[in-house]
Each structure stands twice: as structure tokens, then as C-alpha cells.
Amino acid sequence: MSKAPLSVPEIVEAGLCMGCGLCHGVAGGDRIGFVMTPEGRLRPVAREALDESTNAAINAVCPGVRVEGPEPARAAPEAELDPVWGPADGVVIAHAGDEEVRYKAATGGILTALGQHLVETGEVEFVLHVGASREAPMRSEARVSFDRASLLAGASSRYGPSTPLHDFHALLDRGRPFAVVGKPCDITAVRNVMRSDERARTLVRYCLALVCGGMSDLTKSQGVLDDAGMKESELGLFRYRGHGNPGPLRAETVDGRAHEEEYNALWGDEVGWALQPRCKICPDAIGEVADIAAADCWPGGGPSGEDAGFNAVLVRTARGRELFDAAVSRGDIVVDRTSSFREMDDFQPHQVTKKNAVWARYAGMRAAGLPTPATPRLRIEGLAREQSLSFLVREARGARRRAHAGRLGEPPASFERQWGCT
């Protein structure tokens, strides 16, 4: 007999959810709502017990349950498949041609520049992305941008929780071509929908991803406010980075007070990132199924100071190659130099470690009785074979220990148990 699909509470409590919001569209808003948990995570809550067919439909697209690797048919003609970094027909260092975009956006502004190129050339009607909430700027929200200005207004990284795909199915209902800019897990979710939904295959013209270090709990941001003596209700601005590369975190109150913290003070030590559980076992934080992925490119894995802003860019698909070349030709993107997979190892060493370790971490989770994602075509078992036995045992035991301690799972999400509630 086939295994029953996981229910929404089981996905959440197993630590597989990252709050993308896609299940809301699958089941319908009358059956699934979202809450901000006391841990600082946006999580789905079923308003009623869902039937098995709905759970199966959610499991089929949920990026916590299924994380497929790239389909060879989408690859760019000259793409190479690197065991760690996946497919790319080259790696380059580049930046946005518009200096305002380059300065305000995270790193070199590549994803913002590509979104602007798409709407200005008519390749898409709008871009789905994430920006600061207009009502509560410490929090993040999905945005639909139709023009250059609104894309720039939503630029800059958002490290806290968001539900970018909450209304994805409603956007498909519009019947208009669009692009998606998001975290690798968001892009995985979109690709999952594409396998069964002809509208998604037709209307989602481009998938663009950031190379992701992980999504922090909102408690990380709240800690900044606590240290600064600010309240969330007082905020008029909360910017995680940008306005330089990397740029400081900046908080401003409506009455004119301001607080800044340098990037390395907040993010220099991974122990203090306050990552959500699913991020710690992510098998694809590098956007393997995107058309184009853009990354920070700091030698050694972190910034040593401010610079003008540069991205490492991996062009992964034939469609991505056409887009990138067109953006360069139009001046929307400037290529500085070529790079390589091995230079990416130096830019993003924590990604290499995670990719090599994730198979063993899954083994430890299963030993503790937790479910793990399906990961076809992501090569994680092959990478594990290249590691030392001591490394694999250490990672598996660590995951099992954290699972038994409840650190790879989560408390149940409910409407009664929310952020700020006792």
C-alpha cells in the first residue's frame, strides 16, 4: 500500500514548512489560514481536517515535501553540471547597469535589474516578489510589480518570514504572463506546480532565484528592536541591507529615531542567524531549478567592508541565457568578469558544507522518526559518497540528536497560539 500523504500539521511539526503560502491556494483560504507563531514563523493552520486528496495535492507541490532537481530538458545548451552547484553554462560577476538599482538593491542588484528588464520590454506583465510590508515594515509581504519604480521600491533582501505564494493560484487566474523572483524554495514550489498545471507552465515565463543563506525567525528582527529600545508599532522603515553592499540594517521610527547595525555584526556568525528548521536541512539553497540564480560573492564567505555591489550569476537554463544576454545587450546588466564553480565554493562555503552534509542529516532525521523531503536529481547521495565516514556520522548523529531534542521540528501552529499572544 502507498504511504498516506502528510497532513499540514504533520508538515509543520516535522520542521519541513518554510511558510511559502502555496497550500493556501491549493486548499483554499476557507480551509487554510496563516499565523505568525510565537517562534516568529509564518505557518499554515487548517481550519478543518483536510481530506486525503487535498493533502495529496498539497504534498505534490509543497517545497518542504518535494524538492526536485533541475530537468535536463531546460538546461542551457552549453551548461555544465557541477556536483555541488548544479547546472550552469557559466558563472560571471555582474551588476545592475543602473547605479541607483545597484546601490539600493542587495549586493549588485541583478534580480531587480532583470525584473525591470522584463516589464519594460513586455516579456511579462508583472513580477511576483517580496518586499517590506507597507503597514508593518519589519515584516515582509508578497508584491506584484508592474513597472520599474515599484520593483525598485521592493528591492533589498528580506531575511524574515513571508508567504510569497499565498495568492499564486489567484495570479494564475489572471491569465497574464509574469515572472517570479524568490528564494530557491519558492522557485521549487512554482516548478512543482508547473508539473501538473498547464497555466503555470504557460504563464510563468521566468523563475529567478537568490542564493539563500536561510530565512530567519522574526524573533531575530525583534531582538534588534529590543536592543535599540524601539517598538514594532513605532516603525516607519526596517531595511535589512542594501543602500550599499552589503549595507547596514536600518530601522527608523515615525517620530524620527534611527538605528543601524553593520552586516557582520548581525550575520557574521551563523550560530546567531536564528534560522528556521527547514533551512538547516535544505537540499537546494542555490536555486538549481531557477532560470537564473544570483549570489553574494564575497571571498571567504563574508564581506570585509563596503563595495560598489557585485553579484555572482549562474545562468542555468536556455530561457535564462536568452534573458541574461538580452539584459546585457540593453545595458540593464553589466558583466565585470568570468568566474567559476570553484570560486563559488570560496564565495559560499556554507552552501558547500550543507550540500555535502544534507544526505547524512536526513539519515539522522529518519532515525529519529521524522519525515524527510524527496530530492530526485539533486545528487545528494552521490555527494555523500565523496565525504569521509567521520563527517557523515557526525552530521547524522547531530541531526538525530537535534531531532530528539525537538530542534528540527516545531510546536503545533494554531489560531490560539500566535505572536504576541500568551
For the segment 284-298, what is each residue's pLDDT rounded down to a tens digit?
Answer: 999 999 999 999 999
Over residues 5-59, the pLDDT tens digits come to 999 999 999 999 999 999 999 999 999 999 999 999 999 999 999 999 999 999 9
Work out the average pLDDT over 259-272: 86
pLDDT at 2 over 80: no
How many residues comprise the chain?
422
Residues 380-410: tens digit of each pLDDT: 999 999 999 999 999 999 999 999 999 999 9
Question: What's the pLDDT band for 420 if we cut at 50, 70, 90?
Answer: confident
Q: Name residue, grid cell 552586516.
A: 263
Q: What whole-number percentage of the chain has pLDDT above 70?
A: 99
pLDDT confidence band for 228 (50 / 70 / 90): very high
Mean of all residue pLDDT scores within the chain:
95
Average pLDDT over residues 342-366: 97
Residue 422 pLDDT level (bands cut at 50, 70, 90):
very low
**How many angstroms separate the CA atoms of 63 and 192, rounded?**
8
- Dist CA 43 CA 35 (whole Å): 6
Euclidean distance between CA atoms 272 and 220, whole angstroms: 8
Residue 157: per-residue pLDDT: 86
Rounded distance, CA 330 to CA 321, Å?
Answer: 14
**307-341 residue pLDDT tens:** 999 999 999 999 999 999 999 999 999 999 999 99
Distance, CA of 290 to CA of 190 (rounded, Å): 10
Strands (E), 99-243: 126-132, 140-145, 178-182, 204-210, 235-239
